[in-house]
Amino acid sequence: MRTLIRHQWRQGRSAFLAFGAILVIAACLLDTALTLLWSFDAQYDRRQEALAVADIDIVIPQSAASANLERQLSALDGVADVEAHPAVLADSDIPDFRGADFTIRTLVSDADTARRLNRYRHVTASQTGGDLYIPQYVAEFGQFKPGQDLVLRMDGHEERLRIAGTIEDMEFGNAGSGILAFTMPHDAFDAFLDRHRQDAVTEYAVRIDGDATLATVRKDLGTFLDAHGIPVAATLDRQTVRTVRTMVSRIVVLVLTVFALLVALVSLALCAFQIGNAVRRERVDMGILKAIGYTGRTVARTMLAPYLLASLAATLAGILLSLPLVHAVGSLVAMQSGLDYQAAIDLRAWAVTLAALAGLTMLCASTALHGVRRLKPIDAIRTRPAGRRRQARPLAALPGNARTAILLAQACASRPRNLLIAVMSACMTILLAFCATLAYNAALRPDNLYDTLSTETPQLAVATQPGAAREAAGRIASIEGVDDVLDYTTEYVTIDGNRIPAFVSDDFAAARNDIHYDGQHPTDERQIALGSALAAAHPIGSQVAVTHGDEVRSYTVVGFLQSVNDGGAVCELTDAGYVRLEPGFDAASHTLYVYCDGEETAQVAERIKDHADGLVGQVTDTNRMRLASQRMVGTVLVAVSVAILAIALFLVLLVLMMVVQTSIARDRHRLGILKAIGYTSRQLRAETAMVLLPAGCVGALLAAVLCAGGMLPAVQALFATMGVMRSHFELPWALPAAVAVLLAALQLACAFGFARPIRGMAAVDLIRQ
């Protein structure tokens, strides 16, 4: 039996190597996906436990905090522990954050205070000390290092602070939570707190009982604070924060898994094709073996063993190659999540990858060898050699002239070959169309991707002086280069005990990014649109109670919104609708969104300061941050697309090389006769390539039709795992067709190139063989 296995290996060595190379890619991708899926979540859980992360965080003004309130919160049902942390919470602008101004709420606390809950871990430190410890998200994404200066613009004041080090926190983590946590040494924090007394807050970290429900306790806490008239500045829970921080890891796992499955499908089709060829090639030998006493099971095992060994070796090689890939992808995921991810070997991922790919290979090979057991020795010995095949249909019954009929007959002669080429073409068309869709919406139309993942983002955001919103909007609209001005202010309200952002405007239809996905925007003072996180509890047409301070008002739900960064916990109100909660809103400061397409935003910002002097306060260049984010995300997605493209082309080359070599080996006799009667090598190479074209075109065409109707829904389903309810992605109708045509042309050119050995074959040698 060992001799027979070695014979099979020598006969099909190149086929085993090609099959193994494809399985290496599939194993590498699948193991990476599974490792990230299991190890990232496991590390996240371990880090949460190590840092004793609270289940719920509630931030209230320091003036409302007291030891008695802490005792009352601890006495609520489901609450196991409460710890108060003094801090400063304010909206801050961070200049030069990856080349742009970055605006976010910052929570600054004392780094030297002992904590039971929501502890921090120091990752890096400056040798010269400093005034501020920054979270990993700011260090990695914002490109700041210990020892550098970081500027925080808060309440009109500019704080220039020396970065003392980097911390890892599991409480907020990244911008998706809406808050970034900074810490300061004790003395620096006391001085900072004195300068920002108006923003002083107390953070209550709440740990719930093991049998309590997170949503229920959070709602009870909100109800209690509302009943006692205590304003809430922010409320977060560990589950919501986790969802936001891990959204990139989830989408990476999905993409890698789908890619690995498509590659594995191609490898299985190649396996079935090669085994079918081996059965036909060795048919006479198998008949002789069965005639001298070998059973069909034994013969099948000798042919199965090399494929099983090749699949095991290739899968192990792919698993080993996945280690650097896990590290590279993990670093990207860690930058987005604000987590110090450590790439490690996951034995479960190894076992599942090995069992899945080796098991599928064995199943596919066993199915292809099923006929060997029923093969009768006398029939196998009498069967004509595999190189001489019967035509599927008479030439006279095929359309076209004689040359066309011969090509069609050759194209239809091998069903396994056609199946392999069709499967490969379909899979590669789907992969390339997916890459083209990502690249088109991330690089050529970057607004599509950004609008899908964000809410309304203008070129400039202008904070007006109290009561000056209307006059400031009119004056800004008359400035050269300004296309439109929209009064679009973000306030905060409480719904179901959760404090959420409320977008306040009288003209949501004028916004460039339409974030509603069902129903409509509010149009009067008694209507509200809710985020996707609140949709299940409050259907359209229902009444929802909204709280702001001491005011509680009821609104009719008229639509639903998406907001990925807020976890779907947002709402929309008209100006009059918010005035019901805050009567002084008209006289308060508003935010004006300024649109100036094609203009230099810095110049427009200077014109606004000059022409609306005394009417406006801070002018934020949000376009710079938008462009920086688009470049970063676009670069990542284009890099992923290029990597997938390179792997797809490599697979196409491998499969075509094997198919062309097999075709030449099986048609040597016929090719020799054609050469003898005057056909040139170039004509025979072209015929060999053209024979593969019909199956490739069929597979590519079917996949293109599938992509035209299903690619955007598939992308929507993919991004839905991140909370996207409405994708702004576009897919030009010609894109899948162009991919199919290019792939067919590439297959034809590559097959013609792989048929080059025909040039060196003499007619007499081909005929004799």
Chain position carrying tokens 């003392």 = 164
659 falls within a domain: yes
Question: For position 385, what pLDDT does the model report?
Answer: 46
Question: For position 370, what pLDDT does the model report?
Answer: 66
Residues of the chain above pLDDT 90, percent = 22
511 falls within a domain: yes
Task: Check residues 159 and 599 and name the one with the higher pLDDT.
Answer: 159
- Predicted TM-score (pTM) of the model is 0.72
Task: Check residues 606 and 637 and name the one with the higher pLDDT.
Answer: 606
Q: How confident is the model over 311-360, as pLDDT tens digits? A: 888 899 999 999 888 888 887 777 777 777 787 888 888 999 998 888 88
The pairing of strands 79-97 and 132-135 is unpaired
Residue 543 has pLDDT above 90, yes or no: yes
Same domain, 613 and 634: no
Most distant CA pair in the chain, distance: 104
Q: Which residue, 620, 636, 663, sits at the end of a domain?
A: 620
Contact indicator for 260, 29 with CB cutoff of 8 Å = yes
Cα–Cα distance, 228 to 65 (Å, whole number): 12
Same domain, 424 and 537: no
124 falls within a domain: yes
Same domain, 473 and 609: yes
- Tell me which residue range forms the domain holding 433: 400-450+626-769
- Beta-bridge mates of residue 161: 150
Same domain, 225 and 108: yes
328 falls within a domain: no
Question: For position 560, what pLDDT does the model report?
Answer: 95
675 falls within a domain: yes
Residues of the chain above pLDDT 70, percent = 87
Same domain, 431 and 474: no
Same domain, 631 and 741: yes
Cα–Cα distance, 639 to 299 (Å, whole number): 47
Q: How confident is the model over 464-488, as pLDDT tens digits? A: 888 888 999 999 988 888 889 999 9
Q: Which residue, 222, 245, 268, sits at the end of a domain?
A: 245
Same domain, 543 and 603: yes
Question: For position 487, what pLDDT does the model report?
Answer: 93
Q: How confident is the model over 361-379, as pLDDT tens digits? A: 888 777 766 666 666 666 6
Residue 388 has pLDDT above 70, yes or no: no
Same domain, 615 and 641: no
6 falls within a domain: no
Cα–Cα distance, 196 to 174 (Å, whole number): 23
Same domain, 643 and 700: yes
Q: How confident is the model over 242-267, as pLDDT tens digits? A: 877 777 777 777 777 888 888 878 77
Say which range, 281-285, 574-578, 647-651, 753-757, has the weakest mean pLDDT: 281-285
Confidence class for position 603, pLDDT limits 50, 70, 90: confident
Same domain, 62 and 116: yes
The H or E element that residue 74 is part of is helix 67-74
Same domain, 672 and 762: yes
Same domain, 568 and 695: no
Q: Which residue, 600, 620, 640, sits at the end of a domain?
A: 620
Residue 401 has pLDDT above 60, yes or no: no
Residue 389 has pLDDT above 50, yes or no: no
193 falls within a domain: yes
SS3 202: strand
74 falls within a domain: yes
Total domains, the chain? 3
Q: How confident is the model over 666-700, as pLDDT tens digits? A: 777 777 777 788 778 888 888 888 888 888 899 99
Chain position carrying tokens 């290739």 = 314
Residue 452 has pLDDT above 60, yes or no: yes
Cα–Cα distance, 504 to 487 (Å, whole number): 8
Residue 399 has pLDDT above 70, yes or no: no
